[in-house]
């Protein structure tokens, strides 16, 4: 795989550039963790576990787990995507948002195999304007940026209420090996159950109550990862989850 | 003993002649109980060139063409059609930074349930009316097409009409009428019109096809009005004292490059003694200065037009074409067995693209109400005359509205606001609208060619005022209105993401190998 080279999308330089869509998102073969925006939580949480990845700068980064290690994507096998949800970050490939001349600009990875000099879905019209495809990707990324900020605020809120607890995942492989995954947090159910009605009402009005429930329910999706592992080289027999409540 | 109407003879072949032929033939495509179809003949002399300046349509043209059987793809490919989303009026009313406004084809947000105009009026910040209530002006400013690329699902479409190359449109209509609808085309001169006191027209003598006769004749001979005026002496009712323009100076300006952006609005830019239209087709723009010769020497008018062209492009045409016209319409459109459609029925300056629309309205009414037997011609004629009279009156009033609300100070414009040129019904309404917003009941049935909403777009676009202090007690749906304003903003963003540029859509339609309508 070529190293990425993101450049601002330019009507002159990239007039004939096209995108080759990959329904299997095979560029994400070795992506096991994806940070998500708060706006896509419900969609993603119904398909894959959502946890907070430990981060020195914050109380945790809201993320989807696609496999049992950072380079394993069990949803992407044999050129097919095996889930119904696809995190926006993966859908927006090979684009990104960046700042160009002080303005928010759409960037494209010119080294990506998803980008072609001719053919594919055109990015620009003959008059130099962005085609709807490009505008929609830009919109997706702008919404994602907003979503990341909303996720940060959500996580800070959880942290203030003492609702976060470290999560340990023990993965038991069919070949007898066991792997222990640390470094993430989930919801502390006991603290959650003891919240006052005022606190619950506030969370509900902020739209956070359902998000908390979604995160808790999404832990069930570890079963999904176990199922998906059966068709991968590293078959898993079972998974134990432990939320450390002090 | 009844005389069935089995043959309609149309004299003249421009947009009026061929649209009428198409609508008649498509509507009466079947056979009667005796196995007879309706015969439709168009006699066209190629010595008389069609005027060829009627280039903007209303959204109604889409259903008219569907009725005739012409697809949008054919229109784009063969008539160099582009999409029209609005009219934009520049410099008609100037107030600080606000010097232009839109009259879009789409209605304001929520209009099916409630008109939110009163709530816009009650807001303290003086934002632009059309932009606040409707998403379409933003799409026009951004140069976007009114619908998504072919084969995109879900398809997005907003209300639109077309800009057409009149000459190519006529050729497309003619081909379709002759090849698909069985219309008979006689390329010939009418040498004599034979009249009779009872029938009206009894026959036409032609140079190469002998005598032609029918039960009904349609005069599409343009300003000549060969049948309705020259033969049957039905006069024109003059309205040049209400709408003052009497001359059009017309030309074309090609784009600098074949990939230049194309505007999706008909732009009307007010000038010293009239206004300049600017219509974008695929390869060129149609531009014309409509003015009153009493206020301008012809070389002054040419100067204005050339100044405009210098601002908008890099080429100057060698010759400009001058068309003199009389503003007005026939006293009767249907006299005995002769119906006038198109320029023979009258003319109004093209400020709101009414010319093709009035042809459509006339031809559709004629086709739907075509008498089966000549015995009931008078009844059909009476209704047609009443209906078209109302439509012309409504159009004249709506065009006058633009002029009375202008704040320009040149003599032409001052004269347009003078009591001598006023329409009393309009003056009365304007007085009422100072004290309450425009309502749909202000537009009488039959005269509803231009809806109350069209009046609002012009009235508030021209920054005319409504004092809300007394009437505000009847407008109490504030939260609904606020929702609509927010929804409008959201729709602008959503549509901006989903719609291609105007040029991109045209490229895609032209390149498409699928026969999509």
User: Which of B143, B148, B503 faces A126 most closely, judged by CB atoms?
Assistant: B503
Q: List the beta strands (DSSP E) in B200-256.
A: 200-206, 211-212, 216-219, 236-238, 247-254
Phi, psi of B202 (to 5 degrees): -100, -30
Phi, psi of B253 (to 5 degrees): -130, 120
Which of chain A's residues have a Cβ under 8 Å away from the Cβ of B504?
A: 125-127, 129, 131
Residue B280: helix, strand or coil by DSSP?
Answer: strand
Smallest Cα distance from A114 to chain B, Å: 21
Are the Cβ atoms of A125 and B500 closer than 8 angstroms?
Answer: yes
User: Which of B149, B493, B503 faces A132 most closely, judged by CB atoms?
Assistant: B149
Lowest-pLDDT range of A149-153, B123-127, B136-140, B306-310? B123-127
**Res B96: pLDDT:** 85
Smallest Cα distance from A147 to chain B, Å: 17
Tokens coding B256? 């600098």
CB count in 10 Å sphere of residue A187: 22
**Res B126: pLDDT:** 66
B142, closest residue in chain A (CA to CA): A129
Pairs of residues, one from chain A and one from chain B, whose beta carbons lie less than 8 Å apart? 41
Give the Å distances, CA to CA, from B303 to A18, B290, B297, B325, B351: 47, 13, 10, 20, 21
**Res A102: pLDDT:** 86
**Res A99: pLDDT:** 87
Which of chain B's residues have a Cβ under 8 Å away from the Cβ of A139?
A: 493, 497
Which of chain A's residues have a Cβ under 8 Å away from the Cβ of B149?
A: 131-132
Pairwise CA distance, residues B11 & B201, whole Å: 12
What's the CA dihedral at B442, B445, B449, B450 to 10 degrees?
Answer: 10
Lowest-pLDDT range of A86-100, B37-51, B97-111, B331-345? B37-51
Which of chain A's residues have a Cβ under 8 Å away from the Cβ of B501?
A: 125, 127, 129
Percent of chain B with pLDDT over 70: 97
For the stretch B359-392, pLDDT in tens is 999 999 999 999 999 999 999 999 999 999 999 9
Q: What is the mean pLDDT of residues B68-94?
A: 96
- Find how far residue B119's CA is from the centre of its chain: 31
**Res A60: pLDDT:** 94
Q: What is the mean pLDDT of residues B463-468?
A: 94
Confidence of residue B47 (pLDDT cuts 50, 70, 90): low
Question: Is the Cβ of B501 closer than 8 Å to some Cβ of chain A?
Answer: yes
pLDDT at B446 > cutoff 90 = no
Pairwise CA distance, residues A244 & A183, whole Å: 12
For the stretch B388-405, pLDDT in tens is 999 999 999 999 999 999
Pairwise CA distance, residues B147 & B83, whole Å: 9
Pairwise CA distance, residues B42 & B12, whole Å: 7
Which of chain B's residues have a Cβ under 8 Å away from the Cβ of A129?
A: 143, 261, 500-501, 503-504
Lowest-pLDDT range of B253-257, B416-420, B424-428? B253-257
Confidence of residue B346 (pLDDT cuts 50, 70, 90): very high
Q: What is the mean pLDDT of residues B444-449?
A: 82
Pairwise CA distance, residues B272 & A2, whole Å: 64
CB count in 10 Å sphere of residue B445: 7
CB count in 10 Å sphere of residue B108: 24
Question: Is the Cβ of A121 closer than 8 Å to some Cβ of chain B?
Answer: no
**Res B154: pLDDT:** 82
Are A87 and A40 contacting, i.e. CB atoms less than 8 angstroms apart? yes
For the stretch A137-166, pLDDT in tens is 999 999 999 999 999 999 999 999 999 999
Q: What is the mean pLDDT of chain B?
A: 94
Are the Cβ atoms of B501 and A135 closer than 8 angstroms?
Answer: no
Pairwise CA distance, residues A57 & A35, whole Å: 15
Pairwise CA distance, residues B3 & B337, whole Å: 13
Q: List the beta strands (DSSP E) in B327-427.
A: 328-330, 334-335, 338-340, 346-347
Question: Is the Cβ of B313 closer than 8 Å to some Cβ of chain A?
Answer: no
Q: Exposed/middle/buried for B502, CB within 10 Å: 0-12, 13-18, 19+?
A: buried
Chain B, 96-155: which have a CB under 8 Å from a chain A CB?
Answer: 143, 148-149, 152
Are the Cβ atoms of B498 and A132 closer than 8 angstroms?
Answer: yes
CB count in 10 Å sphere of residue B81: 28
**Res B97: pLDDT:** 85
Question: Is the Cβ of B507 closer than 8 Å to some Cβ of chain A?
Answer: yes
Are B41 and B7 contacting, i.e. CB atoms less than 8 angstroms apart? yes
Which of chain A's residues have a Cβ under 8 Å away from the Cβ of B496?
A: 135
Pairwise CA distance, residues B8 & B32, whole Å: 15
H or E element at residue B269:
strand B265-271
pTM, two decimals, is 0.89
What's the CA dihedral at B363, B364, B366, B372 to 10 degrees?
Answer: 140
Which residues of chain A, if any, have pLDDT below 50? none
Q: In the 3-class helix/strand/coil scheme, how is B434-455 assigned residue by residue? A: CCCCCCHHHCCCCCCCCCHHHH
Question: Is the Cβ of A21 closer than 8 Å to some Cβ of chain B?
Answer: no
Question: Is the Cβ of A119 closer than 8 Å to some Cβ of chain B?
Answer: no
**Res B51: pLDDT:** 55
Smallest Cα distance from A112 to chain B, Å: 24
pLDDT at B166 > cutoff 80 = yes
**Res B417: pLDDT:** 96
H or E element at residue B9:
strand B7-11
DSSP states of A33-96 as a string? EEE--GGGHHHHHTTS-EEEEEETTEEEEEEEE-SSSTT--TTEETTEE-SS---HHHHTTTEE
Confidence of residue B318 (pLDDT cuts 50, 70, 90): confident
pLDDT at B514 > cutoff 60 = no
Are the Cβ atoms of A128 and B259 closer than 8 angstroms?
Answer: yes
A137, closest residue in chain B (CA to CA): B497
């Amino acid at each position: 795989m070529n190293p990425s080279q993101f450049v601002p999308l330019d009507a002159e330089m990239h007039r004939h550039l096209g995108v080759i869509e990959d329904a299997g998102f095979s560029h994400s073969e070795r992506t096991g963790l994806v940070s998500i925006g708060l706006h896509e939580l419900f969609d993603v949480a119904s398909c894959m576990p959502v946890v907070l990845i430990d981060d020195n700068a914050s109380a945790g980064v809201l993320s989807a787990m696609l496999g049992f290690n950072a380079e394993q994507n069990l949803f992407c096998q044999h050129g097919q995507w095996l889930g119904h949800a696809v995190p926006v970050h993966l859908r927006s490939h090979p684009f990104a948002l960046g700042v160009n001349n002080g303005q928010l600009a759409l960037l494209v990875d010119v080294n990506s195999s998803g980008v072609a000099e001719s053919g594919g879905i055109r990015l620009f019209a003959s008059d130099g304007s962005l085609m709807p495809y490009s505008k929609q990707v830009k919109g997706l990324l702008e919404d994602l940026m907003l979503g990341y900020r909303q996720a940060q605020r959500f996580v800070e809120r959880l942290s203030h209420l003492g609702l976060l607890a470290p999560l340990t995942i023990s993965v038991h492989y069919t070949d007898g090996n066991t792997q222990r995954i640390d470094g993430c947090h989930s919801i502390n159910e006991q603290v959650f159950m003891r919240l006052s009605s005022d606190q619950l009402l506030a969370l509900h009005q902020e739209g956070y109550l359902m998000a908390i429930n979604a995160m808790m329910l999404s832990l069930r999706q570890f079963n999904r990862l176990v199922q998906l592992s059966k068709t991968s080289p590293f078959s898993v027999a079972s998974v134990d989850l432990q939320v450390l409540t002090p | 003993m009844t005389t069935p109407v089995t043959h309609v003879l149309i004299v003249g072949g421009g947009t009026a002649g061929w649209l009428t032929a198409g609508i008649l033939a498509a509507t009466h495509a079947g056979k009667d109980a005796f196995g007879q179809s309706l015969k439709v003949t168009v006699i066209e002399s190629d010595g008389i060139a069609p005027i060829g300046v009627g280039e903007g349509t209303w959204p109604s043209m889409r259903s008219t063409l569907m009725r005739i059987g012409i697809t949008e793809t054919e229109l784009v490919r063969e008539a160099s059609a582009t999409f029209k989303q609005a009219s934009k009026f520049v410099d008609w009313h100037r107030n600080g930074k606000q010097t232009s406004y839109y009259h879009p084809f789409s209605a304001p947000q929520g209009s099916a349930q409630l008109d939110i105009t009163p709530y816009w009026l009650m807001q303290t910040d003086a934002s632009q009316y059309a932009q606040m209530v409707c998403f379409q002006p933003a799409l026009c400013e951004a140069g976007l097409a009114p619908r998504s690329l072919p084969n995109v699902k879900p398809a997005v479409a907003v209300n639109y009409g077309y800009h057409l190359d009149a000459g190519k449109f006529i050729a497309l209509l003619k081909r379709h009428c002759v090849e698909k609808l069985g219309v008979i085309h006689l390329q010939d001169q009418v040498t004599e019109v034979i009249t009779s006191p009872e029938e009206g027209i009894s026959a036409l003598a032609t140079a190469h096809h002998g005598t032609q006769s029918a039960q009904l004749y349609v005069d599409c001979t343009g300003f000549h009005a060969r049948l309705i005026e020259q033969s049957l002496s039905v006069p024109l009712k003059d309205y040049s004292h209400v709408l003052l323009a009497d001359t059009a100076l017309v030309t074309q300006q090609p784009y600098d490059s074949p990939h230049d952006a194309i505007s999706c609005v008909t732009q009307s830019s007010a000038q010293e003694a009239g206004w300049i239209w600017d219509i974008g087709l695929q390869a060129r723009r149609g531009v014309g200065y409509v003015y009153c010769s009493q206020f301008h020497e012809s070389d002054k008018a040419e100067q204005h037009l050339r100044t405009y062209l210098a601002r908008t492009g890099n080429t100057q045409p060698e010759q400009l074409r001058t068309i003199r016209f009389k503003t007005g319409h026939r006293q009767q459109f249907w006299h005995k067995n002769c119906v006038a459609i198109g320029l023979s029925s009258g003319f109004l300056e093209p400020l709101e693209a009414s010319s093709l629309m009035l042809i459509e309205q006339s031809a559709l009414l004629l086709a739907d109400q075509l008498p089966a037997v000549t015995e009931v011609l008078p009844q059909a004629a009476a209704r047609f005359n009443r209906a078209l009279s109302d439509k012309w009156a409504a159009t004249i009033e709506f065009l006058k509205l633009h002029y009375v609300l202008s704040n320009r100070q040149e003599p032409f414009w001052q004269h347009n606001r003078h009591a001598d040129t006023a329409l009393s019904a309009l003056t009365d309404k304007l007085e009422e609208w100072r004290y309450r917003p425009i309502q749909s009941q202000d537009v009488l049935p039959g005269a509803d060619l231009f809806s109350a909403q069209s009046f609002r777009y012009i009235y508030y676009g021209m920054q005319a005022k409504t004092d809300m202090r007394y009437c505000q007690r009847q407008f109490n749906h504030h939260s609904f209105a606020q929702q609509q304003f927010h929804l409008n903003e959201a729709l602008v963003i959503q549509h901006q993401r989903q719609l291609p540029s105007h040029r991109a859509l045209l490229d895609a339609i032209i390149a498409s190998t699928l026969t999509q309508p």
